[in-house]
Chains A and B, each alone.
Chain A
Amino acid sequence: MKFTYSWLKDHLEPTASFDQIVERLSLIGLEVEGVEDKAKQLAPFVVGEVLTAEKHPNADKLRVCTVSIGKGDPIQVVCGAPNARAGLKTVFAAPGTVIPATGTELKIGKIRDVESRGMLCSAREMGLSEEHDGILELPEDAPVGAPFAQVIGLDDPVIEIAVTPNRADCLGVSGVARDLAAAGLGELMAPRVKPVEGTFPAPLKVTLEFGETSPLCPAFALRVVKGVKNGPSPQWLQDRLRAIGLRPINALVDVTNFMTFDRNRPLHVFDLKKVTGNLVVRRAKGGETLLALDGKTYTLDESMCVIADDKGVESLAGIMGGEDSGCDESTTDVVVESALWDAINIAQTGRKLGINSDARFRFERGVDPAFTVPGLDLATHLVLELCGGEPSEMVLAGTVPDTARTIAFPLTEVKRLTGLEASEDEIRGVLDRLGFAVSGAAPVLEVVPPSWRGDIEGKADLVEEVVRILGLERVPSTELPRGADARKAVLTTLQLRSRKARRSLAARGMVEAVTWSFVSKEAARLFGGGADALALSNPIASDLSDMRPSLLPGLIKAAGANAARGAGDVALFEVGQVFLGDGPGDQRQAASGIRRGTAKPSGGGRHWAGNAAAVDAFDAKADALAALAACGAPVANLQVTTDAPGWYHPGRSGTLRLGSNAVAHFGEIHPAVLEALDVTGPLVAFEIVLDKIPEPKAKATRVKPNLDLSPFQAVKRDFAFLVGRDVAAADILKAAQGADKKLVTGVGVFDLYEGKGIDPDKKSVAVEVTLQPRERTLTDKEIEEVAGRIVAEVAKKTGATLRA
């Protein structure tokens, strides 16, 4: 919302400086977004009078002028404008001036050998408009030497404020003035609007016809003014509209725009001669069209409210008028409309049709209902003043709603909610100056909000009014006691796990990414998602259309993008949400990562001590186990199964599970999936669903279990087993461990061999077993006996034989 300082002064007699007003506006909730002071920007430009204008000796299109600026000798200026002529009052810029349109500094120069000591300016050069037909032509009485901005009425700073959606009343300058007056920066000037005495009955009627449907127009007032002479508005009105970025059109239209910005009272004017029959306010019929004042034709539907005559739709109610019945310079009889509209309906219609008009903006935020008729009167006065004519009597359809409501306001409420000590006088004073009717006596006042403050619902709103006008800086900063929970752990298990997974993965050399929560439909489908319920209705781009079922598509795409930038060996992870469904319980917290190229946990790329190998499924397995361990998962109990989901390589992937609970998957990504995502491998990945890790058992004590060290030497024995190639190493280890659960305290695989020298269907798995006696040192005989049991148990469980 823009307005000029002089416009503000129509409503406010300031007792503070301009700068104080600007500062205070922000502090009472009308945030100043900018102050534009053309007078400052245009200060170097003065009125000059062209004394002589001769053809340039060396150029047909140039003129050599002498210009007076009221002091000193006439100045010689070479000018290319066709309208540079003797006697013209125009704008002169001296050397040293920075020309706003080009940003260049004017210098004394020679143009085709003739010296030029300044410039005569067009509106475009001063950044005032796009017109460049020639240099500006100022009125003949413009005082030579005077600042140009002053002469043209631009010495009036323009203030732009951001008006929050609740403060529709400040979408008119009068409302801004009221707030400033309440805050003590001046006196509000609010003369009553004098009712208009109509001299004849209005020659047309209006009816509100909504039948059984909900009415969209509570009240509609109109008046006809006959015999107007429409034409350009007076300069003051044009200046104001231009200053706030509006284009003056003609007096009748300008009056409606002025009322919109002056009083937050949008109006519409029809040319009576272009209206056929009477007006009816109704819902549009499906398929009806309107050629609106913006030159576009809109197709309407039954949800929209229109003003129609016998011919059809003439205006889109509260949003934009129609071209056919609009007022132009030939208009002699005008219908002035002031109406109230259903705010939500206006918003919906405007959104549906994509029209953002000043009228829509105000009606959807709420105009002052009580000002419907006074607004019509004020507009009629302006029409009469600017265009003459005879006013008719007013026609009013519907009724202006009475918005009066009483709020019980305990005076203590201000301190209760804000901590601010304010006296009863202060509180009453603020409310009174803002137009609230205050009655009753302490401790509880009765407050009736003014008709223009539809946003005020209850006592909290009144508290806001009081503190914002008295000043938020008066609210004392008050220490909040630490509270009972200050020493308690505040993070949930899942929050802690997210942190631990994150730090443990980063400590393994992985870099944390944050990728979009949405991926392409194709990517979602590749990773088990893509359900309709999780597809955005209004995605911002087709590759950001579906809620992700996994963190992997985002990470894999990111690996591809990094590879394209030359970083092929990347290890990325993310800790974040994945979506199984659209319910509040369907979101899971995942920790997933990928490694591409040679980004091994021990470092990637080439190195003098040995180049890093390509990443493999075991890197991903190690990552997953590290994160799971950091999260406190019982890693010793995890089983590894070979049933990872379809986006993994079927033979090089696995699932880490606790019984039926699959807590993580790891492995190479399926080559077809990589191809579909347009990323090349090698690329391995893991996914952990942190929610699936069992809750830790509550512990009564932080004491660690007793450290039980045996005084007797442990013994290590090696076994080389020949087994079928399909036998899982885990089964061999489990069998060896199971041969003597007490004595066998460690099992490990130290060699794996397939190929020459052994049966092609077999592999050799070399296992180291640790035997830890507890009661005495083992004899050779005892060791042999245990070794025999280990071999027998492994043979029984896996079909293994000892390698010869």
Chain B
Amino acid sequence: MSATPSATDPSALEDLQESLSSAILRAQDEAGLEEVRIAALGKKGSVSELLKSLGGMSPDERKVMGPAINGLRDAVQGLLSHRRAALKSAALEARLATERVDVTLPVRDAAAETGRVHPIAQVTEELVAIFADMGFSVAEGPDIEDDFHNFTALNFPAGHPAREMHDTFFLPPGADGERKVLRTHTSPVQVRTMQAKKPPIRVICPGRTYRCDSDQTHTPMFHQVEGLVIDKGAHLGHLKWVLEEFCKSFFEVEGVKMRFRPSFFPFTEPSMEVDIQCDRSRPGEIRFGEGSDWLEILGCGMVHPNVLRNCGIDPDEYQGFAWGMGIDRIAMLKYGMSDLRAFFEADVRWLSHYGFRPLDFPTLAGGLSA
């Protein structure tokens, strides 16, 4: 540091400013800069000493030197803050230059991306979305049923071949000698609904069903959904319309031709099986709503008067229709799984591939599978 210049020598002030300025520029870090600041503006710093000397000057001298010394101080302060900012920015630059991560490293998958909803649950929610929009609620019932609800109330006469075709699982006879069964269809839920509720009734009944049968297209446990409408004047034409609306919504196509064929179920009269239009000309792919093939997808009919009577409903006052289909089967048709057994094997490879992301809620507004 240069010695304190003569207080009245303007050229000495210039020299001091020059020397401080170069010291400021030479400072390589904030600590060095601080030293310069103390040497200039500290209690005994060179500029501070000059400022102190103002007090001993004559008014005329002070008039000249006052502004000069204050000007020197302001200039030094400006230089200091400028340099400080430059040094700070350089230090940040230097730090950033050393801070690097390899952004191509993989991150962990989000849980919501790896979790899956089973296709049966997803398709069931799709069904609920479609039918809730038509005013249907969802009815459920027990998997272990009694003979009355699974067969008798549904107009299966004892010993009738139709009853034997059901490959029923039985539980041991109870104290009353009656054997419970695993429901062979979800129709007992219709019975329970009709017993519990007064018409008008509009429900769908999705659920697990059981038959002792096993091969590539049959598993001892599978899923069905049935629909039931009981009302004055609900007729076969309405059934047709409901099923057409369902097929269009579910398969997400503009239109789909349907073919109704007479069939037989003990609990409906008339009874029908329904085929839908499809195109199977592309290998391994099936498209609905186009082509000239037919594919059977469901059974349906007008609820048999005996069933209505068994449930306490007068068949001359109320009438209605019902339909039923395999949830697993329509899931396979829509999403292209080929083997029913894989649904129940809990193989995470299959579940991850065919399952649905947890935030993919089926909605009609968004398109069911959008």
Bind each other: yes
Contact A461 B118 (CB under 8 A): no
Contact A418 B234 (CB under 8 A): no
B236 contact set on A, CB distance < 8 A = 417-420, 467, 472, 475
B262 contact set on A, CB distance < 8 A = 27-29, 464, 467-468, 472
Candidates A468, A477, A584, A609; contact of B270 at CB < 8 Å: A468
Question: Using an 8 Å CB-CB cutoff, how does the interface string of B98-136 with A read, 1 for contact, 0 for none?
Answer: 000000011011011011111011000100100011111
- Residue B276, interface by CB 8 Å: no
Contact stretch, chosen from A146-154, A386-394, A500-508, A789-797:
A500-508
Instruction: Contacts A165-B162, A503-B359, A602-B108 known; list 18 others, CB within 8 Å.
Output: A419-B238, A463-B302, A468-B270, A478-B235, A480-B134, A483-B202, A490-B128, A490-B137, A507-B111, A512-B351, A513-B351, A517-B210, A517-B221, A536-B169, A537-B171, A565-B349, A576-B208, A584-B145
Question: Using an 8 Å CB-CB cutoff, how does the interface string of A465-487 with B read, 1 for contact, 0 for none?
Answer: 00110001101111110111110
Contact B164 A562 (CB under 8 A): no
Select from chain A the residue with minimum beta-carbon distance to B212. Answer: A540
A540 contact set on B, CB distance < 8 A = 212-214, 220
> Which 7 A/B pairs are nearest by Cβ-Cβ distance?
A29-B262, A419-B237, A509-B111, A164-B264, A464-B270, A344-B159, A558-B346
Contact A29 B118 (CB under 8 A): no
Contact A491 B138 (CB under 8 A): yes
Measured between C-beta atoms, what is the minimum distance from B246 to chain A in Å? 11
B269 contact set on A, CB distance < 8 A = 460-461, 463-464
A503 contact set on B, CB distance < 8 A = 117, 358-359, 361
Measured between C-beta atoms, what is the minimum distance from B128 to chain A in Å? 7
A458-B305, A608-B105 given; A485·B171 CB < 8 A:
no
Q: How far, in angstroms, from A742 to B239 measured CA to CA in the complex? A: 62
**How extensive is the interface on chain A, given as a class?**
35 or more
- Residue A26, interface by CB 8 Å: yes
Contact A511 B355 (CB under 8 A): yes
Measured between C-beta atoms, what is the minimum distance from B122 to chain A in Å? 9
Measured between C-beta atoms, what is the minimum distance from B249 to chain A in Å? 14
Contact A502 B171 (CB under 8 A): no
Contact stretch, chosen from B45-53, B68-76, B85-93, B172-180:
B172-180
A525 contact set on B, CB distance < 8 A = none
Q: Which residues of A contact B (CB under 8 A)?
A: 26-29, 31, 164-167, 343-344, 347-348, 351, 364-365, 415-420, 457-461, 463-464, 467-468, 472-473, 475-480, 482-486, 488, 490-492, 495, 499, 502-518, 532-540, 544, 547, 554-555, 558, 561-562, 565, 567, 570-572, 575-577, 579, 582-587, 601-603, 607-609
Measured between C-beta atoms, what is the minimum distance from B244 to chain A in Å? 6
Contact B344 A514 (CB under 8 A): yes
Candidates B115, B142, B242; contact of A480 at CB < 8 Å: B242
Measured between C-beta atoms, what is the minimum distance from B57 to chain A in Å? 53
B361 contact set on A, CB distance < 8 A = 503
Candidates A491, A507, A571, A585; contact of B112 at CB < 8 Å: A507
- Residue B65, interface by CB 8 Å: no
Measured between C-beta atoms, what is the minimum distance from A781 to chain B in Å? 41
A472-B262, A503-B358 given; A344·B220 CB < 8 A:
no
A576 contact set on B, CB distance < 8 A = 208
B259 contact set on A, CB distance < 8 A = 27, 473
**Number of A-B contacts defined by CB within 8 Å:** 277
Contact B348 A570 (CB under 8 A): yes
Report which residue of A460, A484, A555 has the largest number of chain B beta carbons within 10 angstroms of its beta carbon. Answer: A460
- Residue B240, interface by CB 8 Å: yes
Question: Using an 8 Å CB-CB cutoff, how does the interface string of B325-344 with A read, 1 for contact, 0 for none?
Answer: 00000000000000000011
Contact B235 A515 (CB under 8 A): no
Contact A512 B121 (CB under 8 A): yes
Contact B135 A561 (CB under 8 A): no
A601 contact set on B, CB distance < 8 A = 111
Q: How far, in angstroms, from A587 to B259 measured CA to CA in the complex? A: 39
Contact B171 A534 (CB under 8 A): yes
Q: How far, in angstroms, from A485 to B139 measured CA to CA in the complex? A: 14
Q: How far, in angstroms, from A477 to B125 measured CA to CA in the complex? A: 26
Measured between C-beta atoms, what is the minimum distance from A467 to chain B in Å? 6
Candidates B145, B158, B302, B358; contact of A460 at CB < 8 Å: B302
Candidates B144, B306, B347; contact of A547 at CB < 8 Å: B144
**Chain B interface, >50% SS class:** mixed
Candidates A478, A506, A518, A567; contact of B358 at CB < 8 Å: A506
Contact A516 B202 (CB under 8 A): no
A515 contact set on B, CB distance < 8 A = 344, 346
- Residue B285, interface by CB 8 Å: no
Contact B348 A562 (CB under 8 A): yes
B132 contact set on A, CB distance < 8 A = 490-491
Q: How far, in angstroms, from A487 to B358 measured CA to CA in the complex? A: 25
Contact A587 B143 (CB under 8 A): yes
B170 contact set on A, CB distance < 8 A = 536-538
B213 contact set on A, CB distance < 8 A = 540
Contact B348 A473 (CB under 8 A): no
Candidates A417, A478, A507, A512; contact of B241 at CB < 8 Å: A478
Contact B118 A510 (CB under 8 A): no
Contact B346 A513 (CB under 8 A): yes
- Residue B263, interface by CB 8 Å: yes
Contact A479 B241 (CB under 8 A): yes
Candidates B105, B128, B171, B202; contact of A582 at CB < 8 Å: B171
Q: How far, in angstroms, from A461 to B352 measured CA to CA in the complex? A: 49
Contact A536 B182 (CB under 8 A): yes
Contact A516 B358 (CB under 8 A): no
Q: How far, in angstroms, from A195 to B18 measured CA to CA in the complex? A: 145
18 pairs of residues in contact across A and B, judged by CB atoms under 8 Å: A29-B261, A166-B264, A418-B302, A460-B304, A476-B237, A476-B240, A490-B128, A491-B132, A503-B361, A512-B115, A512-B117, A516-B221, A537-B171, A562-B348, A582-B174, A586-B142, A603-B111, A603-B114
Q: How far, in angstroms, from A492 to B138 measured CA to CA in the complex? A: 8
Task: Identify which of residues 174-231 in chain B touch chain A, using a CB-to-CB cut-off of 8 Å.
Answer: 174, 179-180, 182, 200, 202, 208, 210, 212-214, 220-221, 229
Measured between C-beta atoms, what is the minimum distance from A263 to chain B in Å? 20
Contact A511 B351 (CB under 8 A): yes
Measured between C-beta atoms, what is the minimum distance from A455 to chain B in Å? 8
Contact A477 B138 (CB under 8 A): no
B141 contact set on A, CB distance < 8 A = 584
- Residue B17, interface by CB 8 Å: no
Q: How far, in angstroms, from A539 to B141 measured CA to CA in the complex? A: 22
- Residue B366, interface by CB 8 Å: no
Measured between C-beta atoms, what is the minimum distance from A586 to chain B in Å? 8
Q: How far, in angstroms, from A400 to B7 measured CA to CA in the complex? A: 148
Contact A516 B261 (CB under 8 A): no
- Residue B30, interface by CB 8 Å: no
Select from chain A the residue with minimum beta-carbon distance to B235. Answer: A419
Contact A516 B136 (CB under 8 A): no
B200 contact set on A, CB distance < 8 A = 483
Contact A517 B359 (CB under 8 A): no
A347-B164, A499-B125, A514-B344 given; A537·B172 CB < 8 A:
yes
- Residue B60, interface by CB 8 Å: no
Select from chain A the residue with minimum beta-carbon distance to B162. Answer: A165
Candidates B121, B140, B304, B343; contact of A575 at CB < 8 Å: B121
